Structure 1
Amino acid sequence: MTRLTPATAPPGTRVRAFGPSAPVGIVHLGIGAFHRAHQAVYTQEADPDGAWGICGVTQRSATVAGHLRPQDGLYTVLQRDADHTRADVVSQVHDVIDGSTETGRLTERLADPRVQVVTLTVTEKGYRPGGAVGRLIDGLQARRRADAGPVTVLSCDNLSGNGEVLSRLVLDHRDDDLAAWAATNVRFPSSMVDRIVPATTPADRDEVARRLGVDDAGLVVAEPFRQWVIEDRFAAARPAWEKAGAELVTDVAPYERRKLRVLNGTHSLLAYLGALAGYPTIAEAVADDSLAGAAWQLIEHDVAPTLAADGLDVTGYGRTVLERFANPALRHRTVQVAMDGTQKLGPRLLGTIRDARAVGHLPRAATLAVAAWMVYVERATTENDLPLDDPQADVLREAVGSSSDLVAALLSLEAVFGADLPEDREFRALLGDLVAQVRAGSIR
């Protein structure tokens, strides 16, 4: 079948320049499915004239570049809920760079004075020396030398205080010239992003081919719901994202905590328990009354009390989250959500546990989610019937294989659990009991 290109795109698709010479105002590090279904959509809706073209940068693989370059950056967002489906072609990506091989071209883009915003979705594991952060530092150093003007660096990853985290990584690089320049010319606002974007399947591609009459290698699938809360602190110009529904606020932190602990925390709980119970998707997992009950207990009894001082509606938000998870059209795979657990447990679940323990509460559902992760790791290691997709996979396998006490072995990973939780006797005892229940399949 004919591939999606400007020549074959549906009527009304905006046609514009694509490639190294195309005008770009935003460089995005980590042009995966989430960015294409979220920030790029907001930007297109806020930028009808195409003045804020995006240069998308791949991280570890050139796959997305191979998908989008032959299509001049065009791709489809297939939006689904239980009753409706729509397919929209997005044309906001004006260039694509393979970050693993085209580092010189990336540095040039970051030093271009026309670029005034850099955004990132590199996942939790991307916030470490080297990788995306190292490429960003190289680009900012080149920008300083070129006197290319101020720039805003906007993290869109699931990290508490993501702007502050990114700022520290950049400014602690021990380059005094860069730090002094950045103090005047760079801002690192925080943001909170939300949209469920499951992995694209061959059936999704077939549906778009039927609807549009073209083959789209860059297709992404998403739910109708979306949210973007942005700290209104910019060093230079930006797209009018608020025209597309983004919320510009003075403090993102309450929204971040609510999303991480309610949505992402229950997502992880359902992913681990669901995968262990044999449910392929989150929608099937939340359709199980016992798993849905555990998710609601996490929201109402564990998370909500820890967020009371933030002044946001937690339980109403939680009901909306569970309704979204139940959307059967998304087919968000449990094992996809289960990946990178060592990076996700802290912001999603352990913060809730620590806050609850500080006031003497023993959070049963949050601890159940940790127990489910432990049993998931054990089963992925010993039975090899579940994928263990984690940057610390080798460390986890060694820990599981070196001890007959699963709880002790995994709690000993200080990078995940710190020094405090392993010393909490009540928490440790409850965790042991819940691990035994999860192993026995008796959480009901």
Structure 2
Amino acid sequence: MRLCLNTLPQSLLPAYDPEAHGIGILHLGLGAFHRAHQAAYTDDALAAEGGDWRILGVSLRSTDIIDALAAQDGLFTLTERADTDRTRVIAAIGETLAAARDSEAVRAALARPEIRVITLTVTEKAYGIDRAAMDIDPAHPDVDRDLKDPRHANGVLALLVEGLRRRQKAGLPAPAILCCDNLPENGALLRAGVLGFARRIDAGLAEWIAANVAFPSSMVDRITPAATDATADRIKDLFGVTDTAAIECEAFSQWVIEDNFPQGRPAWDAAGALFVQDVAPYERMKLRMLNGAHSLIAYAGFIAGHEFVRDAMQDAPLVALVDRHMKAAAAGLGALGDIDLDAYRHALLARFANRSIAHQTYQIAMDGTEKLPQRIFAPALEAGTDIDAFAFATAAWMRYCTGIDEQGRPYDLRDPRAAEIHAALKGATTAGAICDALIGLPDLFPKALKENPSFRQACTDRLQIMLARGMTRAIAQEPL
């Protein structure tokens, strides 16, 4: 029996009548994280204060999730994994579209007058934005293709621009466009990409967008592992229904949003979201404390033989280094009036140790050259002479970059600069040579850090121990 409104067990019924609420949000990127995070917040907002704020969900690549949700009235189960699991049904998704099957329907939906907020979770790679230039990346395949035929757009930036063009032509109000990807200053970044694309095809449209479209920033947080067969099996065993869109996540959730929605928004604050004037301090907190510690766990834990974060958090000496790392990161943040950084640190330690969440260290380790500048290198510059925590994390990444585990088995770095890393390390056999080669990669380490001999030596010394004695010994020997 498939999950749908007329087969739901009484315990799983939504706290509101889904059919009584219209569509108000269009979301691009209908993956597990959106459904565990923004869709769950919207579900709670609808239950708390109502409104026509259900979601039109768009899958840009896959059709599987669209087919699964279409067969289930848009419903899916969300299980929050903790000491005591909690399962609920999310009813916030009212319509779905697959861009791979009907991209024109997506372009038309972006211009529907009832759409007042557009949200996105598409990952950084999908945007085609050059952060350094704060402009489009003309070499990105989607951008290159769509610039040649913008009216039949398929890429993220071109879809948004075409939808806005149609709204301008129809005399419709501009929506707020809210990036929910884990990117620093994501609102400003997305605005730069949309304007950069628009300027190249229609200067007047670009001016209208600049004057009318809001691009609020947001910071999102909820660990959401990929669903497995066991996820659906658990729902079948518990409730006797088949849910092919079932997902699970941790119980913790956080959403900090810049309050800039000219056409209104759901009552996400009633669901626990924090609305602020400036998201940047909260982004730095998450990037440096949570994500920075995650990178440390990923590289040191993976090399030490820990498959999952939860396993690494059973390694007491490594946990001590994780705690030290977060304290060092917090020291450079300053005070956040509505968040206790010590309490946040303790919450992170508990979240990482959650035995119900299987978050692979190897998965977190991917794309290191894109992640480490914000997570590790930036706070290292602010830490003054206390650089040990960041030097250890950097050395662990350097050890990972060798591409050989401690049993002599090779692995794929899964990094956009992997070929460049391999070329730089060719012939580098000592800790000093490896450290010099990686610090010398162009446009990776900040100049002040590259030219800091204390940091370079601290990384080299730790890498030497990792190479000669193994990661477990290096973790145990690290002074606290």
The two structures share one fold, judged by TM-score above 0.5: yes
> Secondary structure at the residue paired with 2:87?
strand
Q: Any idea what SS the aligned residue of 1:106 has?
A: helix
Stretch of structure 1 that moved more, 114-123 or 41-50 = 41-50
Q: Return the offset for 1:261.
A: 0.8
Shift of 1:292: 0.7
Q: Which residues of 2 match residues 253-292 of structure 1 at below 5 A?
A: 253-292=280-319
Deviates more, 1:123-132 or 1:24-33: 123-132
- In the alignment, what sits opposite 1:332? 359
Query: Which whole-Å CA distance do the structure 2 matches of 1:94 and 1:270 have between them?
Result: 39
Residue 172 and residue 71 in structure 1: after superposition, are their counterparts in 2 closer, same or farther (change >3 A)? same
Instruction: Give the match for residue 319 of structure 1.
Output: 346
The DSSP-based 3-state class of the residue aligned with 1:172 is helix
- What residue number does 1:160 align with? 184
Q: Is the 8 A contact 2:303 2:405 kept in 1?
A: no
1:306 and 2:307 are equivalent in the alignment:
no
Match of 2:415 among 379, 390, 405: 390
One-letter code aligned to 1:431: C
CA contact (8 A) 1:437 1:443 kept: no
Q: Is the 8 A contact 1:50 1:92 kept in 2?
A: no
8 Å Cα contact 2:54-2:93 kept in structure 1 = yes
Match of 1:195 among 212, 222, 225: 222
The 10-residue stretch of structure 1 (3-12 or 28-37) with the greater mean CA deviation from structure 2: 3-12
Q: Which runs of 5+ in 1 are unaligned?
A: none
Query: What is the CA-CA distance between 1:289 and the residue it aligns to?
Result: 1.2
1:424 to 452, 457, 465: 452
Q: Which structure has the larger Rg over C-alpha atoms?
A: 2
Q: Distance in 2 between matches of 1:397 and 1:306?
A: 33
Do the aligned residues in 1 keep the contact of 2:30 with 2:121 (CA within 8 Å)?
yes
CA distance in 2, matches of 1:425, 1:234: 48
1:141-220 to 2 correspondence within 5 Å?
Answer: 141-173=165-197, 174=199, 175-220=202-247
Q: 1:113: which partner in 2?
A: 113
Does the Cα contact within 8 Å between 2:76 and 2:245 map onto a contact in 1? yes
Give, in whole Å, the separation in 1 of the partners of 2:159 and 2:448. 35
The 2-side partners of 1:133 and 1:430 are apart by: 42
Whether the aligned pair in 2 keeps the contact of 1:125 and 1:343 (CA below 8 Å) is: no
Tell me, what secondary structure is at the counterpart of 1:46?
Answer: helix
The Cα of 1:64 is off from its aligned counterpart by: 2.8
Look up the SS of the partner of 1:71 in the other structure.
coil
Match among 424, 430, 437 for residue 409 of structure 1:
437
SS of match in other structure, 2:414: coil
Q: Displacement of 1:403 after TM fit?
A: 4.7
Aligned residue number for residue 40 of structure 2: 41
2 CA distance for matches of 1:114 and 1:215? Answer: 33
- Aligned-residue CA RMSD in angstroms? 2.6
**How far 1:268 sits from its partner (Å)?**
1.4
Aligned amino acid, residue 57 of structure 1: V
Work out whether 1:375 is the aligned partner of 2:399. Answer: yes
1:29 CA drift (Å)? 1.8
CA distance in 2, matches of 1:264, 1:127: 21
Structure 1 residue 43 displacement after superposition: 0.3
**How many angstroms apart in 2 are the aligned matches of 1:217 and 1:346?**
38
In the superposition, relative to structure 1, how do residues 342 and 132 fare at CA in structure 2: closer, same or farther (>3 Å)? farther
Which residue of structure 2 lines up, in the alignment, with residue 366 of structure 1?
390
Preserved contact between residue 335 and residue 387 of structure 1 (Cα < 8 Å): no
Tell me if the contact between 2:24 and 2:114 (Cα under 8 Å) persists in the aligned partners.
yes
Contact 1:342-1:392 within 8 A present in 2 as well: yes
- Name structure 2 gaps, 5 residues minimum: 130-142, 144-154
Residue 333 (structure 1) shift: 1.8
How far did residue 381 of structure 1 move? 9.2
1:210-252 deviation per Cα after TM superposition (whole angstroms, max 9, x unaligned): 1121222211111111111111111212111111111111222
User: CA contact under 8 A between 2:164 and 2:174: conserved in structure 1?
Assistant: no
What secondary structure sits across from 2:183 in the alignment?
A: coil
* Cα deviation 1:333-385 (Å, max 9, x = unaligned): 222222222222122222211222xxx32422122222222222322699555
Q: How many Å separate the matches in 2 of 1:27 and 1:69?
A: 16
Shift of 1:137: 2.5
Task: Give the TM-score, by structure 2 length.
Answer: 0.83
SS of 1:321's equivalent in the other structure is helix
Letter in 2 for 1:443: I
Contact 2:404 2:411 survives alignment (8 Å)? yes
The letter of the residue matching 2:349 is L
The AA in structure 2 aligned to 1:103 is S
Q: Distance in 2 between matches of 1:177 and 1:294?
A: 54
| Residue 15 (structure 1) shift | 6.9
The worse-fitting range, judged by mean Cα deviation, of 385-394 and 344-353 is 385-394
8 Å Cα contact 1:208-1:214 kept in structure 2: yes
Query: Do the aligned residues in 2 keep the contact of 1:25 with 1:52 (CA within 8 Å)?
Result: yes
Structure 1 residue 4: Cα displacement:
2.4
The question of whether the paired residues in 2 share the 8 Å contact of 1:54 and 1:94 is answered with yes
Deviation at 1:26, TM superposition (A): 0.8
The offset of 1:50, in angstroms, is 6.6
Give the structure 1 partner of residue 462 of structure 2. Answer: 434
State the 1:423 CA deviation.
Answer: 3.0
Which whole-Å CA distance do the structure 1 matches of 2:109 and 2:409 have between them?
Answer: 44
Q: What letter is aligned with 2:106?
A: L
The answer to whether the Cα contact below 8 Å between 1:159 and 1:347 also exists between their aligned partners in 2 is: no
Scaled by the length of structure 1, the TM-score of the pair is 0.90
Measured after TM superposition, the shift of residue 187 of structure 1 is 0.6
SS for the counterpart of 1:414 is coil
Residues in 2 aligned to 1:93 and 1:277: alpha-carbon distance in whole angstroms: 42
Compute the displacement of 1:172 (Å): 2.6
In structure 1, C-alpha distance between the alignment counterparts of 2:120 and 2:162, rounded to whole Å: 15
Q: Which amino acid aligns with 1:435?
A: L
Instruction: Give percent identity, aligned residues only.
Output: 41
- Work out whether residues 28 and 56 of structure 1, in 8 Å CA contact, stay in contact via their aligned partners in 2: yes
Q: CA deviation at 1:437?
A: 2.6
Residue aligned with 1:265, SS = helix
3-state SS of paired residue (1:153): strand
Q: Using the alignment, how far apart are the partners of 1:50 and 1:234 within structure 2?
A: 15
